Structure 1
Amino acid sequence: MRRAQTKIWTIAALMLGLLLSGCGQADGTQGSVPPAPEGGTSAVNPGGAGGSKPTEPPKTPDRTEGTGEQLAAVRMDRVTAVRLADAKSGWLGGDGWIAHTDDGGQTWSPQYSGKGTVRQLFALNGREAWAVIEEGTGDSVKSRKLLATKDGGKTWTAAGTVPNGGFLHFISQETAFSANAKTTDGGKTWTTLAIPEHTKGDAYFHDAGNGWAVTQQGDTITVKRTADGGKSWQDVLSKPIVAAVTDAVIRSAGANDAWVELVGESGMTQTSYALFHTKDGGKEWQTVIANSTAGGGPAPGFPMGHTGGPKNGGSKPGALYVVSPDVAFMGGQCPACDKPNTIGWTTDGGRTWVTGETALPGYGPQLLAIADAKSGWWINTDNSEPAVMYTTADGGQSWHKVHTFEKPKPAL
C-alpha cells in the first residue's frame, strides 16, 4: 500500500514540474538566454528583471564598405568627384557611393554605399586614397566626414573629419592640407595655419612650409607666399583691377610652383577669369590665360577694354587640373552653347596655351583627372541627362567616350 502511495506522489510531482516549466517559457521570465551574436553582447538583457527592455545591439565599427546587397543596389548617376591613381585605375564618387575602375573607366565596381555626397577624392597611389563625404549643401553643410582606404578600396573606414571645403591633398599617410588646415594624424585632428587678412578664396599649402594666398584690398589684387608655414607672408605678384575678384583657385606641383586662377565678375552667362603661373617661388610670372568677356568685363589684372589673350575656350572657367610645373589642363564652359564643354592645356608651363577642338554636351560641373601630359579623364555632367566619361591618350587632341552613367533621378 505504502509503495503505491509513493508512486502516485512521484508521478504527481513530475507532472507539476512539467506544468511549471511550460508556464515559465511562455511568459519569457525564465528559460535560457539566446546566445550572443559573434563579437557582441546578447540582444536580451541577461539581468532578467521583470519589464526590462531589450538592449540595443552594439554598433559595429565605422567600417563603410557596405554590404553586398547595398553595393549591388548603388545607382551611379550623379557623379560628383573623381581621382585617378594612373591612366587605367582610379575612383569616382557621387551621392552616397564610391566606385573603382581598373580598365580606364570602361567598367566600374561600387566599393562604398552610405549617406552623404562624395565631394572630393584624393589618392597617393593605387592603394591609399581618401574621400570627403558631405552631409548637407552650401551654407547648410552639417558635416564633412573623411573616409580612408589602404587596400585599394576593398574597405573604406572612417578616418576623421575635414574642417572646411578646401582642396584636400595628402602628402603622406598622415599629413594633409585642406585650405589653411593641417593634419598630421590622418585626419583625426586639425590645426589652423595663419593666412593674410583680406584673403580671397582658399589659401593653399603645398607642404608644411610653403603656401600661397590671394588678397584683395581696394583696386589691387596680390598673390602672397609663405615659406614658414604662415608665420610671415611676402607679396610676390600685384595687379591693378577694375572689377572685383570673386574667387581665387590655387594649385601647386612643387615647393616653388603655383598656378593661380583669379575669377572675375559675371553677366549674361559669362564669367571673366585669368590664370597665372610661377615656377620659381614668385620671382617671375607667366600669364597663361586671360579670358575677358562682354558680360563679365576684363579678366582680373587687365585693363578695361581688354580683349587679348591667351584665350581658353568657352565663356566661363571649367575645372583646373595641374599635373606638373609644365603640364596643366583646364576646361571651359559655354552655357549658351549646344555643346558647352571645351578643354585646353599647356605642356610648357604656360608659355603657350592650346585650346582643343573637342566640344561635348553636359550643363553640369566638369570633372578632370589627368595622369600625365598624354593621358587623362574628362567627365561632363548634367542635372537631367547621364554623366559621360571620356579619355585621351594623345594629350587632349582627341577624346573617346568610355562610359555613360545612369540618368539622374528627378530632384524631389
Structure 2
Amino acid sequence: MPIQTSIRKTPYALLLGALLLASGCQSAAPASTNSAAPQPTVSAAGTASPAPSGAADDSNSGQAAATPQATGAAASDSATAVVLNQPTAVRLASASSGWIGGDGWIARTDNGGKSWKQQYKGGEAIAQIFALNDKMAWAVTGSKQLLATTDGGQTWKLAGSVPNNGFLHFVSAKEAFMANATTKDGGRTWTTLQTPANLVGDPYFHDAANGWAVTQTEGAGKVERTTDGGRTWTAVMNRKLAAPLNGALIRSAGASDAWVEWIGDSGMTQTSYSLFHTADGGGKWQTVLANSSAGGGPAPGFPLEYNDGPKNEGSRPGPLYVVDRQTAFMGGSCPACDKPNTIGWTKDAGRTWVNGSAAFAGYGEALLAMADSERGWWITTDSTEPSAMYTTADGGKTWTKVYTFAKPKASS
C-alpha cells in the first residue's frame, strides 16, 4: 500500500506555497497542439500567403477507436497524431465538407479545406474514399480493408474487405459496386458479376441491372452494355484500333449514361487517349476528347493521321470526374512542363470542351472531386514538395489555394 505522510503546515509554509502557486499561474503555457491550421490569406486565384502548415486539428477527444481489426484507430490522442502529408484520396460530401485520405490517415473538413480534423490513423495509405452523404462514407486501404463511418467520420470501423482495386461506389447504405463485384450487406460479403471476354480495364456497374465494359479483339475496340446484371452483353460501340488499347476507365451518371476513356500507347512521357460519352444507352456517341501525341501515337479509336478532334491540355490524362449527364471534368498532366497540372471540362454532354487557363506545380498524381458543376476541389501532389489544395466556385475558371500539406516524408 502507498505510504501516506502527514505534513504539519506552518503559517510560513502556507505563505511560501501561496507565493509559488501564484508564480506558477502567471507562467506562459505552451501553445495548444490542437488548434486548427491557420487559414491562408489569398491574394489571387491559385496563390496563398501564408499557407497552413499541414498539421491537423485532432482535438475531438470524444471519438471512439475503430474496431481493432481495422489496424488503425480514431485520432483522439494528440501525442500520436499524424501529420497530414502525401494525400492519396479525396471525396466531397458538399462544397464545404469532405474527406481526404493519405499515408495512414483520414481527415475531414467542414470549411472548404481551410482546416482539417484528423479522424483516423493507421498503418496503410488510403487508396480511395466514397461518400454517400454527409454522414456515410467508406475508405479502402492499401491491403483492401474497407472502413466505414455512419457519423460523419467521428468513428471509422472495419466493414469488411474489397475484392479488387476497382472504383468503389455505394448506391445505398448496404449496396455497392466495385468493378465486377457487388455487395448487399455493406461490404461484408461480395458477389462476382458476369462480364464479357477480352476485357480492357474494369467494368462499371451503375446499379444491379445496368453495366458497361470495354473489350478488344485484334484491330477493334468495343464498348459493351448489360441491362440484366451481366447475364448478357451487347456491343453498343465498335471502333477500329490503329494500336491495341492499354487501359480503359468508365464512369456513369445514370442507367443509360456512360463516359468511357480509352487509353492508348505511351512514349516520351506522353500517352494517347480518347473520351466518349453516351446519354441514351449507347445509341449515340459523342467524341469528347481525342488526344494523340508524338510519343503515344494516335488517339484510340481514330486513324493514324487523325488530328482534328477536341483535345485536353497536357501530354497524358489526369483524373476524370463525372458530375452528371452534362458535366465532366478531366485533368491533364505534362511531366516535361514547369507546371504540369491543368484541367478542362464539358458542360454540354461533351459537345464542346473547354481548357482552363490555370496550371499548377506538382509531379505526382493529381486528385479531383466536384460537388456540382461549379464547385470542386483539386489537389496537386509531389514526391518531394508539399501537396496543395485548390478550390473553384466558378466551374474551373479560377482556382484558389486554400491549404498546403506537410512536406512528404523523405524516402529511405
TM-score by length of 1: 0.83
Answer yes or no: is the 8 Å Cα contact 1:289–1:311 preserved in 2: yes
Matches within 5 A, 1:282-297: 282-297=282-297
Q: Where does residue 112 of structure 2 map in the other structure?
A: 104
Counting only pairs closer than 5 Å after superposition, residues 5-404 of structure 1 correspond to structure 2 as: 61-62=68-69, 64-69=72-77, 73-134=81-142, 143-404=143-404
> Which letter does structure 1 place at the counterpart of 2:220?
T
CA contact (8 A) 2:74 2:154 kept: no
C-alpha contact 1:71 1:112 (8 A) present in aligned 2:
no
Counterparts in 2 of 1:296 and 1:67: CA distance versus 1, 3 Å = closer
Q: Distance in 1 between matches of 2:295 and 2:183?
A: 41
Cα deviation digits, residues 309-362 of structure 1 (max 9, x gap): 201000000000000000100000000000000000011100010000111100
Relative contact order: is structure 1 or structure 2 higher (C-alpha 8 Å, sep ≥ 6)? 2
1:157-179 CA-to-partner distances (Å, cap 9, x unmatched) read 00000000000000000000110
Residue 79 to residue 207, structure 1, CA distance change in 2 (3 Å): same
| 8 Å Cα contact 1:131-1:148 kept in structure 2 | yes
| 1: CA distance, partners of 2:79 / 2:282 | 47
Kept in 2: contact 1:236–1:282 (CA 8 A): yes
1:59-95 CA-to-partner distances (Å, cap 9, x unmatched) read: 9654754352268521111100000001000000001
Structure 1 residues 101 and 239, CA, compared in 2 at 3 Å: closer, same or farther? same
* Larger gyration radius, structure 1 or structure 2: 1
Whole-angstrom distance in 2 between the partners of 1:242 and 1:158: 46
Letter in 2 for 1:266: S
Report the Cα distance in structure 2 between the residues aligned to 1:270 and 1:399, rounded to whole angstroms.
26
Aligned to 2:337, what secondary structure does the other structure show?
coil
CA distance in 2, matches of 1:222, 1:382: 35
Deviation track 1:292-322 (CA, whole Å, cap 9, x = no partner) reads 0011000000001221220100000000000
Instruction: Tell me, in whole angstroms, the C-alpha distance in 1 between the residues paired with 2:69 and 2:189.
Output: 17
CA contact (8 A) 2:75 2:119 kept: no
Separation of aligned partners in 2, 1:178 and 1:89: 24
Shift of 1:287: 0.2
Which whole-Å CA distance do the structure 2 matches of 1:149 and 1:213 have between them?
Answer: 30
Give distance in 2, aligned partners of 1:247 and 1:256. 22
Q: Percent identity?
A: 61
Give the partner amino acid of 1:199. L
The one-letter code matched in structure 2 to 1:104 is G
Aligned counterparts of 1:322 and 1:254: Cα–Cα separation in 2: 11
Whether contact under 8 Å (1:71, 1:111) holds in the other structure is: no
The answer to whether the 8 A contact 2:67-2:158 is kept is no
- Letter of the 2:115 partner, please give it: T
Q: Distance in 2 between matches of 1:219 and 1:293?
A: 20
Task: Report if aligned partners of 1:262, 1:274 keep a CA contact under 8 Å in 2.
Answer: yes
Measure, in 2, the Cα distance between the counterparts of 1:317 and 1:354: 15
The letter of the residue matching 1:83 is R
Pair 1:80–1:157, CA change in 2 (3 A): same
Note if contact 1:71-1:110 (Cα within 8 Å) is conserved in structure 2.
no
- Shift in Å, 1:115: 1.4
Contact in 1 for aligned 2:277/2:286 (Cα 8 Å): yes
Pair 1:363–1:281, CA change in 2 (3 A): same
- Deviation by residue 1:380-401 (Cα, 9 ceiling, x = unmatched): 0000011100000000000000
Give deviations 1:219-240, integer Å, cap 9, x for gaps: 0000000000000000000000
Q: Do the aligned partners of residues 67 and 322 (structure 1) sit closer, same or farther apart at CA in structure 2, a change above 3 Å counting?
A: closer
In 1, Cα distance between equivalents of 2:73 and 2:380: 27
**CA contact 1:270–1:315 (8 Å) conserved in 2:** yes
Which amino acid counterpart does residue 204 of structure 2 have in structure 1? Y
- The 8 Å contact of residues 278 and 286 in structure 2, kept in 1 or not, is answered as yes
Closer/same/farther in 2, CA of residues 71 and 161 from structure 1, 3 Å limit: farther
TM-score (ref. length: structure 2): 0.83
The gaps in structure 2 that reach 5 residues or longer are 1-65
CA distance in structure 2 between the aligned counterparts of 1:377 and 1:116, rounded to whole angstroms:
24
Q: Distance in 2 between matches of 1:366 and 1:318?
A: 7
Return closer, same or farther for 1:317/1:307 CA change in 2, 3 Å cut-off: same
Work out the number of aligned pairs and report it: 346
